[in-house]
Amino acid sequence: MQAGYAAGLLFLCPLGDLLPRRPFVCGLVFFTATMWLGLCITTNLSVFTAISFITAVTTVTPQLMLPLVGDLAPPNRRAAALSIVVSGLMLGVLVARVLSGTMTNFVTWRAVYWMALGLQYLIFALLWCFMPDYPATNPGMNYFRILWDIVKMLFRHPVLVQACLAGLFCSAPFTSFWTTLTFLLAGEPYHYSSLTIGLFGLIGIAGMLGSPVYARLVTDRFVPHFTVLFGLSCSLIGVCMGTYLGSFTVAGPVLQALLLDFGNQTAQIANRSAIYSIEPKRRNGVNTAFMVSTFCGQLIGTAAGNHIYAAAGWIGSGSASVGFIGAALLTIIARGPWEERWVGWRGGWSMAKKNKDSADGKTSEKTHFENGRIRDEEKAIGAEGKVLAEVAAEPGNESPLGADDEEKSSRDSKDEIRPAKI
358 inside domain: no
Of 305, 333, 361, which closes a domain? 333
Query: Which residues on adjacent β-strands are paired with residue 369?
Result: 374
355 inside domain: no
* 252 and 188 share one domain: yes
Mean per-residue pLDDT pooled into runs of 10, the chain (422 residues): 83 89 93 93 90 92 88 84 86 80 79 91 94 83 88 91 93 90 86 80 78 82 89 94 89 90 90 87 90 91 91 91 94 88 85 74 59 42 45 49 45 44 43
284 inside domain: yes
The CA angle 94-266-68, to the nearest 5 degrees, is 85
* 195 and 116 share one domain: yes
304 inside domain: yes
* 175 and 238 share one domain: yes
Distance CA 209, CA 204 (A): 9
CB atoms within 10 A of CB 36: 23
* 251 and 397 share one domain: no
* 95 and 163 share one domain: yes
pLDDT digit string (tens) for 57-102? 999 998 898 888 888 888 888 888 888 888 888 888 878 877 877 7
Predicted confidence at residue 393, as pLDDT, reads 52
98 inside domain: yes
Query: Which residues on adjacent β-strands are paired with residue 344?
Result: 335
* 385 and 240 share one domain: no
- For residue 13, give every residue at least 6 positions away whose Cβ sits within 8 Å of its Cβ, in sequence order, or none: 60, 63, 64, 284, 287, 288, 291
* 276 and 390 share one domain: no
* 158 and 298 share one domain: yes
pLDDT digit string (tens) for 29-46? 999 999 999 999 988 889
Of 333, 361, 385, which closes a domain? 333
Q: What's the chain's Rg over C-alpha atoms?
A: 24
Alpha carbon dihedral 345, 351, 357, 362, in 10-degree steps, equals 0
Of 306, 333, 360, which closes a domain? 333
pLDDT digit string (tens) for 233-283? 999 999 999 999 988 888 889 999 899 989 998 999 899 988 988 888 888
Q: Dihedral sign for Cα 237, 238, 239, 244, please.
A: positive
Q: Give the CATH number of the domain where residue 55 resides.
A: 1.20.1250.20
Predicted confidence at residue 130, as pLDDT, reads 92
Is there a contact between 314 and 184 (Cβ–Cβ < 8 Å)? Answer: yes
Distance CA 278, CA 290 (A): 13
361 inside domain: no
C-alpha distances in Å from residue 358, one per residue of 21, 73, 74, 347: 25, 11, 8, 17
- For residue 188, give every residue at least 6 positions away whose Cβ sits within 8 Å of its Cβ, in sequence order, or none: none
- The CB-based long-range contact list for 237-246 (8 Å cut-off, 24+ gap) reads 238/263, 239/173, 239/177, 239/318, 239/321, 239/322, 239/325, 240/322, 242/177, 242/318, 243/314, 243/315, 243/318, 243/319, 243/321, 243/322, 244/315, 244/318, 246/184, 246/314, 246/318
Predicted confidence at residue 317, as pLDDT, reads 92
372 inside domain: no
* 249 and 155 share one domain: yes
385 inside domain: yes
Number of domains in the chain: 2
Domain that holds residue 154: 2-333
* 155 and 225 share one domain: yes
Is there a contact between 301 and 175 (Cβ–Cβ < 8 Å)? Answer: yes
* 173 and 225 share one domain: yes
Q: What percent of the chain has pLDDT over 90?
A: 33
